[in-house]
Amino acid sequence: MILPRGERGEVLVRGYAVMRCYWDSEDQTKEEITADRWYHTGDIGVMHENGSLSIVGRKKDMIVRGGENIYPTEVEQYLFRHPKIEDVQVVGVPDERYGEVVCAWIRLHDSADDVTTEDIRNFCKGRIAHFKVPRYILFKKESEFPLTVTGKVKKYEIRELSKIELGLQQVRFS
């Protein structure tokens, strides 16, 4: 389905440079490539009026809190405006009532040792939607952020480590 400009949706591409199939994986091919050769990238994007495309997140990273879709990059971009935040990663963690809630891993600037979770929440309240305000805020050192060999943050690992640290491994959505 083609969406109107300005709306968020999954980015699909096709053309000569797009593969025809996954090698030796018919199931994955059927899952990610349509019969008319559109490839599901897994990226969430917005097509602007001028025809440019902005990637706003990854489908697999999207947090669904009580039916509301939350794109971690949107919350991260807002939190980066805080003058004492050096780095931030946002993930969804399980919640019995809402399914998932927002958890933020925050690394502060070296000189910022007086910031509290309440300071961060107050920074967000009234400026981003209430359901996007992080329920859990975990202050971390640079060495605690799990990285791939190429230096990218392992979001799935942050999600799992957060569940353990917060005691949410057994939480089930009812």
Concatenating the DSSP letter of every residue in 73-96 gives HHHHHHHTTSTTEEEEEEEEEEET
Q: State yes or no: pLDDT of 79 exceeds 70.
A: yes
Confidence category of residue 1, pLDDT binned at 50, 70, 90: confident
Least reliable range by pLDDT among 28-32, 124-128, 154-158: 28-32
Q: Are residues 91 and 154 in the same domain?
A: yes
Tally of domains in the chain: 2
Is residue 109 domain-shared with residue 40, that is, in the same domain? no
Does 68 lie in the same domain as 42? no
Is the overall model pTM greater than 0.75, yes or no?
A: yes
Is position 173 within any domain? Answer: no
In a domain, 36, yes or no: yes
Contact 122, 115 (CB under 8 A): no
Mean pLDDT value across residues 125-149: 96
d(CA 107, CA 88): 6
Q: Which residue has tokens 């030796």? A: 24
Do residue 69 and residue 19 come from a single domain?
Answer: no
Q: Are residues 98 and 54 in the same domain?
A: no
Range of the domain at 41: 8-60
Which of 56-60, 128-132, 158-162 is predicted least confidently? 56-60
Q: Reply yes or no on whether the pLDDT at 173 is more than 80.
A: no
Same domain, 138 and 149: yes
Query: Which residues are registered as beta bridge partners of 89?
Result: 105
The answer on pLDDT for 106 being more than 60 is yes
Is there a single domain that holds both residue 30 and residue 80? Answer: no
> For residue 20, what are the contacts with CB-CB under 8 A and spacing of at least 6?
33, 37
Predicted confidence (pLDDT) at residue 128 exceeds the cutoff of 80: yes
Q: How many residues does the chain have?
A: 174
- Specify whether 40 is located in the same domain as 51: yes
Per-residue pLDDT, 15: 92
Final residue in a domain of this structure, among 22, 45, 60: 60
Beta-carbon contacts of 72 under 8 Å, excluding residues fewer than 6 positions away, are: 57, 61, 62, 63, 89, 90, 91, 92, 155
Q: Give the pLDDT score at 103.
A: 98
Q: pLDDT at residue 93 above 80?
A: yes
